[in-house]
Every structure is written in structure tokens, then in C-alpha cells.
Structure 1
């Protein structure tokens, strides 16, 4: 036996790896480089860098000197780990073509201008004619539409601007008079004479760049606030440009963001990308949730020899493949297996991605996408009320100061003076239903009846309030008509304004 074992082939010893060698993993540099190039799909990273406007915004002779005003330490900021910078107006304009970004900006702008404003007056004087002329001027100059477009630009690009076109005291249009265009626009009848207002025009931020701004002393009023703007080669004083910025960036980033703010598109991009990936994944999953496997003879194909019969067999299988068809297979050599991917819970994942996309814009799903809540006693009233409160806050922070300036300019143009007793307020967006209005009127009428019975009010007091309330159905009631009030025995007696009812 020992002699026979001598002629047997001895097996080569298998090397046994030590625990240290098992734990160690070597990854090639090529694989790492490919992973860095690929990255996570849908995510964009932009280095923080100086913003450079397109050619023509700054005069060629002034370009180097103006751009040199930006003293932000970009190298230091990028070295300490800044991951996101300004993507540029070209990239943001590209995002505005997607419905997800467009609906966020446009829907909020529509809600901010849907009900618009109502004028109020102080004192006892009748200013109806003045208010009518102001409203006509605002409509003539399309202020409501321009404010909506400026809010959309703020959502797309992070900044909206409206230029005020005026005639100079010499009678020339400001855009044709460089000296007038660069001078401040004071709210004074000596600067804004009657009939000097020409138009209001919206200007996209890509065509503007800040001129002179102070960046040395944070204690001064003009710190990081441009005193003038370059608009396609022309110098425009800041008082002639109405600025709309809802999401300010820190001072250290203002120059890189062209003195604008964060756009809604830039904030919502990770959430929109997550939604797009989820939507595409769900679509792919539904499209191929069922996988059919035909087990057949693959010997010739796997060995490298040509096998046209296999391709024809696959075509025949696809021709017969149908829920109402009959699939015939070889009993000895073939077998069919079907794998189905469960689809339960997929719709919930997709709905959550949509909700996250809507949450970043502070717009409820029913307002943004028209999707109503599901479930027993589900309602969106609470979310809509919260959204209307948010819109009211946005109106006050973005619109109020600019709208006050527009109305003052219109008054100087129409009347030659500014009436401090004329003010305005934004009309509330929330509306009561017809049933809720009827119930509120019933409660109010019962309260008035109690006050009249107790002698607190006279019937003519309630009548006057109903006649002057613009929301009352008796708004056009003539106060000169006679009022009949019930007497103590229930018999009505005529009451006029000169002879009040006997309420004793």
C-alpha cells in the first residue's frame, strides 16, 4: 500500500488566510475614481465662487474694477467645507422648466396676489375719489401682475426686481438720461411731478449686478447694501429698483449670490430629486413586477456555439405569452417559473415623497398638486388655514414696503402730494362658506336684538352699521327711509332719524 501511495498525485496544500488577511480589503484606484465620477444620481454640488454676470451687464471698461469689489475669501470658505454655492441663473432657469419647481414658485405668487389689497382711510373726510384714481392707476400700470411676476422670479432665482421709469424734471425719460438714471428718486413733488410716472417694469436678476456697496464696517447703514445697480451697461440708483427677496443669505454669501437670496428651486432640489427617483423606481417596478423564466437547454449557447433555435424559441415564447393564451413547453427539457414582486406599500412610499416635496415649499398638497387627503373624516381645512397665515406673512415681509412706495409714487403722479390718511391692508384669503356666513349673521342679529332690548343700542344704530358694512347684504340701504320699531304692546310705530324709537 505504501508503494502505491508513492505514485498517487499529491494534492497541493491550500493556503489558509490569517484573520488579518481576511479582514483586509483592497480596492483599486480605478474603481474609486469611477465611483467619484458617478456619485449619487440627481445630486448637484457647486463650489462657492465669485459671481460673474454675463457680458454686457457691466461696461467693459469698468468690469475688472467692479468685480474687484468682491473681497469674499472664497478659498478659505471652500477649504473649511462649504458644500453648496450659487448654481447660477442658467442652471436655475433650466430648473424652472420642470413642473415641480414651477408650481412651487407660481402657486405661492398666485396666492399672494389673488385677493390683493383694500384701501382704508383715517379721519372723517371723504376720500372715495382719490382711492378710485389710485386703484385705476395701479390697474393701468399692472402693479398686481408685476408683483406676481417679481414673486415668481424670487422663487426661481432668489431675487425679483421692478424698475420705476420716470421722467426727469427736464422732461426726458430716465433710461435716456444717464445722469437722471443714476440720481436718487426722492418721494417729493419737486422730484416726482404730476404726470411724470411712465411705467413699472420687471427686470430679471441675470441682467443686473450691484455697483457700489460698503463692505468694511457692519456698523454703518449701507453695509452690504448696493447703492446702485448695473443694468446692461447702465448705472441705475437703487431707489429706482424695487427689491423682492424672501430668503436672505448671510452677508458672507451675498456677493456670491449676486446680492440675491436662496431660490425656492435651490432649496427644494434634493426633495424634488428624491421624488423623481421614487416616481421612476415605482414606474419601473410596476412595469416589470412579473418576471417569467423559461428553463430550457442552454448547452450550445453557453459553450460558445451559435444556436439560432434558442432565439426563435424565445420569440415563440413571447408570441404566446398572454394571460388568455396557452403556453406550450417541452415536458422533458423545459420548465417555466414566474417571480412576482409584491407591490404592497409602494403607493405609500410615492405619497411620502410627494409630501416631503410639498413640505419644503410650505404649500399643502391639496393646494400645490390638487391631491385631497384620504381616509375617514380626512380634511385639509387646517392645512389651508396655516398656509393662508404663511401667505399673509410673506405679503407683509415682501410686498408691504414696496407696495407702499408704489402707492406713494402714484399719489405724487396723480395729485402732486401724498395723503398720509390713505392706507391699505391685504385682503384675507380665507373665506367662509354660505352656511358659515348665514350662521355668523344669525349670531350677530341675535346680539343686536339683545342690545336693542336692553337699551344699549337704537334700531337706527344697527341700521346704519348694516348700511355701511361692505360685506352686508344691506349695504345699499337708504338711511333716510323710515324705520319701524316694535312698541311695548307689539304694535309697530314709525320711527324716523329725528324721532328715535321708545325703548323704555
Structure 2
């Protein structure tokens, strides 16, 4: 064997040795058994137990859902009275709470639903499509999770315009008093149009959404281990060591009795009387470097949840500047979710209320009106800061008009829109100046802290 072949063999042996823990662990070595990319699947019971047992997990699931619906929205409509009546009707139906729960279920279970309880002009079955132009009124909205859905009936016809869409759901509508699921005879097929369905994480070859807890399972487990480890360190942070030659002559029972007595005495008495040649000393647990380990756990958890540590913990961060931008980025993600995921579902509810003949305004074709949903800002600034922002925006607009970048009509549409003066300002154009962003970040963070302190 030449030198080159010997070198290759040595490199191969080193790689093999490394992957089996240098031969120390054999086949039971954790490094051998660990395989990257293995998917963690959780049962509904597992998900329930993890959520019920961990307050941090509850924050990760609940807080974004609360933030998405906390400030709610403004319905801009050319008919102000009709717009106000629609908003009042949404409040009567408790739509805000239904949407919050739907998003909580979506994050926890992978699928969130709201059932649409309606009255129609003609008889109908739940398996039939809900036709909006036959509505009389909306009676109720109920939020529920995918646990109630036993199967998704998907259109698999590749020549259908609705290929790949879920057309109907099979719903479990009854359980026994003890909570045991009753036979399948109590399952009902319901058309998808009779639900609002919230689903944001789904594998392309699957129908159900993925619980947020599945990809976060490893870091949740590490977080739980960290909590237990810190508890053990605190419990045994200091302990006493008693050294005596007489220990060698004691029986197991005598040692146990002596240990119990000394443990009680040394915890309750400040004075210890020992013989010559005996030694009593106190040992402390070394915690050097533990902060770095715990910070790593929190950073990984925040990254996996896509939430700042300050929001997950509900407390002020140590570094003010970093926390400011973290909260701003978090609010930006919440705003994007409002526009992309929640807005279409809200628009459907409003369209149904406009179509229904027994709802405010009677039967109105939604397409015959000028209306839009504008989500209220997730944070606000004081009057002075607001005036400064508007002044900067006005000066920027004047420069754009002077140099022909925008026309007065463009500026009017951008600033005032079709429904009049816009109450909220957007960060765009010269507003992206670092000093300007820094000021906004401080305002956002201050508003978030104030909201947390006031409950």
C-alpha cells in the first residue's frame, strides 16, 4: 500500500471514529443515533399537554393572535352610516374574539376555523355551497380548531379549475358526556364555503396545517431542560461537606440517620460543634458561563418563534436599542399577516353582511360600493411627534412635486386616499432616514412598554 492509499485510509478511519464518538459509545452513542432532518410529529394530546404545561409556549401561541386583533380595523365606506352599522354588527357577532381564537388555533393546531351560522331564503344542507345572494342574516360565528375536522375532501381532478382546493370537510359534531368520541354516524360533511379557514403552514403533499410546536419541539425541550437545570442549581447552590474518620465505622442505617440529623441541624443552626480532626466546609456550585448558555436558548427560541425576547417574556430588554428594532420588526410581521391573511377573511364577512337582506342597510351589492378595510396602527405616537412626522412628509411631498417626481394628484391619493385624510402614516421614501427610523423605533418601543405596564 503506497503512502497516498495509507493517507486515504487514515482519513476514512478518523471520520468513522469521530462519528462513533471515538469508539467510546459504540452503537448506543448519541452521535450515531442522531440523524439530521428527522421530522417531529406530535399528537393532539401531545400538543395539548405542551401548551397547558408551559407558560412561555402559551405566550408564543397567544400573543401574536392578540396583537393581530388588538387594535382591530376601521371600515371606510362612502356611506358613513352603513359603515358604522356594519361595525356595530361585527361587534354584536363578536367577530374580533372569533378571529383571535381562530389564529390561536392555527398557531397551536395548524388549522383554525370559524363556522358561519346563517339563515338563507331557501332550505339548504350543510353540504351545499353557501350562496351569498340568498342570505337573510348571519346568526353566529364559532371558532374551533382542526381537532373537530376528521377529514379534508380535496378536489383531485386535474382538469378542474378548483384542482387542489378543499371543497368539503367532514366535521365531528357530537361527543359523549365523558368526552369520548361517538361513532362516525355523527360526522357531517360540510361545504368549505360555510367556514372561514386559517392555515399558513402546510406541506405541499399534506392537507392539514402544521402546528407551530412541531418545528419548535427541540428548542422547547431544551428550554424545559434549562428550567429544570437552573432549578437544580438553585436547590444545590451551596452544600456542606462533613469529613470525619468515624464515618468509616458507621453502618448504612447509622449513616442515613446521621445525614438526616446533620442536614436538619446545619440548615437551621448557625453553629456547628465538631471534634478535633474533623472538618466541615461549605461548597458552592460553579455557575460560570451559564448566562451564555441561557442566552443561546432564548435567542434560538426567539428566532424559531419569530418573536423578540422582550415580547415573549413580556418584559423590558437589557439593551434598549436592540429591543426597539426587534419590536418594530415584530410589528411589521404582524401588520403583514393582517393584510395577507386576516383581511381576505374579514372582507368576506363584510360582503356577507352587505348581501344579507335582514342585516343593516338591507341587500346591497358589495361591488356597487366604495369601501375598504384599514387596520388601525399597532402603536401610536404623541401629538408632538405626530406633527413632526407630518411636517417631514409634507416637505418631502413638496420636493417631489417641485422636481416632477410625483404630481399633486399622486400625492393627494397617497396621503388622503379616496376616503379623506389618512390618520396613520407609513414609513416610506425619505421617512426611511436612519435618524427618522431611530425616532420611530423609540416611540414604538415606548408604546409597547406602556401597553404592557397598563395591562
State the shift of 1:446 in Å: 8.3
Q: Deviations over 1:320-373 (max 9, x none)?
A: 5269823222213x2234432222332342233223222211111222212322
Does the C-alpha gap of structure 1 residues 221 and 291 become closer, same or farther in structure 2, counting only changes over 3 Å? farther
Among candidates 390, 412, 415, match of residue 355 of structure 2: 412
Q: Deviations over 1:120-176 (max 9, x none)?
A: 34xxxx411111121111111111111101001001100001111122323x6xxxx
Does the C-alpha gap of structure 1 residues 348 and 323 become closer, same or farther in structure 2, counting only changes over 3 Å? farther
Among candidates 94, 119, 124, match of residue 49 of structure 2: 94
Distance 1:422 1:24 in 2: 71
Does the C-alpha gap of structure 1 residues 360 and 392 become closer, same or farther in structure 2, counting only changes over 3 Å? same
Q: How many residues align?
A: 366
Distance 1:152 1:25 in 2: 46
| Residue 401 in structure 1 maps to residue 341 in structure 2 | no
Does the C-alpha gap of structure 1 residues 447 and 268 become closer, same or farther in structure 2, counting only changes over 3 Å? closer
| Contact 2:56–2:313, Cα closer than 8 Å, also in 1 | no
State the shift of 1:434 in Å: 4.2
TM-score normalised according to structure 2 size:
0.70
Q: Which runs of 5+ in 2 are unaligned?
A: 1-21, 174-186, 400-407, 425-455
Aligned match of 1:239: 193
Aligned match of 1:107: 63
Distance 2:288 2:42 in 1: 39
Equivalent position SS for 1:298: helix
TM-score normalised according to structure 1 size:
0.64
| Contact 2:152–2:170, Cα closer than 8 Å, also in 1 | yes
The 5 Å alignment of 1:156-305 reads 156-170=108-122, 179-187=124-132, 189=133, 191-192=134-135, 195-210=136-151, 212-215=153-156, 220-231=160-171, 232=173, 233-251=187-205, 254=206, 259-296=207-244, 297-301=246-250, 305=251
Among candidates 140, 143, 149, match of residue 95 of structure 2: 143
Q: Which runs of 5+ in 1 are unaligned?
A: 1-22, 46-80, 173-178, 451-456, 473-504
Does the C-alpha gap of structure 1 residues 319 and 141 become closer, same or farther in structure 2, counting only changes over 3 Å? closer
- Structure label with greater radius of gyration: 1
Over the aligned positions, Cα root-mean-square deviation in angstroms equals 3.8
| Residue 430 in structure 1 maps to residue 379 in structure 2 | yes
| Contact 1:214–1:223, Cα closer than 8 Å, also in 2 | yes
